[in-house]
Amino acid sequence: MSVTLSTEITTVECLRAVYDLPKPGPANKVTDRIDEHAAAFIAKSPFLVLATVSADGRLDVSPKGDIPGFVQVADEKTVLVPDRPGNNRIDGLQNIVETGRIGLIFLVPGVKETLRVNGAARISVDSTLLERFVVEGKAPRSVTVVSVEEVFLHCARALIRSGLWNPDRYVDRADVPSPGTILAAHTGGLVDQCAYDAELPARIVQNLY
């Protein structure tokens, strides 16, 4: 199905004609630092999504997860995010090197609100910094150092509508294409679907850290 944009909005003025102005609370909720409340939220979060942009405008949004507290608040203007083993595409890390911009959304299981943090970022491989994030005797390959510019709580509507934490809405894994199925299709058969799916569970466990 194609999408026709005959009524495309191309100016902020036209956009504001569609949307009301935010109420005083949402309009003024942004702070420029990690206070005690934001720090407490981050300390309970085992999962975040990390958004970056490259010098030529390519976007990347990556999931990051670990035990709660895996992201450390160094001070009210600095957040530290370790990079655990993955597929080595390092799209987000490359973007940070190119533009130094980052956006984070923190989630806490069972909590319907999310916390958003935006700012500047750089990549560090300082040994002392890496040692702060050792798990099972293994340090991360790098740490993303976030210089905080904006922090604000995002309301619960998205998670309420999605029912993300509602077990009654959990989907049977068999009803979603397997990783091997998707990769075989997207790589033109370079990935063997059956072999990939068979080997994946053990490979993930072996390379968590």
- Residue 52 belongs to a domain with what CATH number? 2.30.110.10
* pTM recorded for the entire structure: 0.93
Label residues 80-115 b or e (16+ Cβ within 10 Å = b).
bbbbbeeeeebbbbbbbeebebbbbbbbbeeebebb
Q: Are residues 41 and 78 in the same domain?
A: yes
Average pLDDT per consecutive 10 residues, the chain (209 residues; last block may be shorter): 77 94 89 98 98 98 96 98 94 98 98 98 98 96 98 97 96 96 96 95 91
For residue 108, the model assigns a pLDDT of 98
Written as one letter, the residue type at 56 is D
In this predicted structure, what is the pLDDT of residue 4? 67
104 close to 146: Cβ distance less than 8 angstroms? yes
Per-residue model confidence (pLDDT) at position 110: 97
Spatial strand order of the sheet with 142-154 comes to: 59-65, 47-53, 101-107, 114-124, 142-154, 78-83, 72-75
Residue 95 lies in a domain: yes
Q: Are 156 and 181 part of one and the same domain?
A: no
User: Are 29 and 72 members of one domain?
Assistant: yes
Same domain? For 31 and 62 the reply is yes
Judge contact between 42 and 88, C-beta under 8 A.
no
**Which value, in Å, is the radius of gyration of the alpha carbons in the chain?**
20
Give yes or no: residues 63 and 122 share one domain: yes
Residue pLDDT, tens place only, 150-202: 999 999 999 999 999 999 999 999 999 999 999 999 999 999 999 999 999 99
For residue 26, the model assigns a pLDDT of 85
Instruction: Give yes or no: residues 127 and 197 share one domain.
Output: no
The count of domains in the chain is: 2
Are 118 and 196 in a shared domain?
no
How far does CA 89 lie from the centroid of its chain? 16
Is 59 among the domain residues? yes
Shared domain for 183 and 138, answered yes or no, is no
Looking at the chain, list the stretches that DSSP marks H as alpha helix, in order from N- to C-terminal side.
12-18, 24-27, 36-43, 91-99, 127-131, 157-162, 179-186, 193-206
Within-domain flag for 5 = no
**Measured between alpha carbons, how far is 198 from 168 in angstroms, rounded to an integer?**
28
Task: Tell me the residue range of the domain where 45 lies.
Answer: 24-162
Q: Look at residue 117 and tell me if it is in a domain.
A: yes
Sequence-separated (6 or more) residues with CB below 8 Å from residue 66: 46, 82, 84, 135
Phi and psi, residue 198, nearest 5° = -70, -35
DSSP SS3 for 198: helix
Q: Are 134 and 66 in contact (CB under 8 A)?
A: no
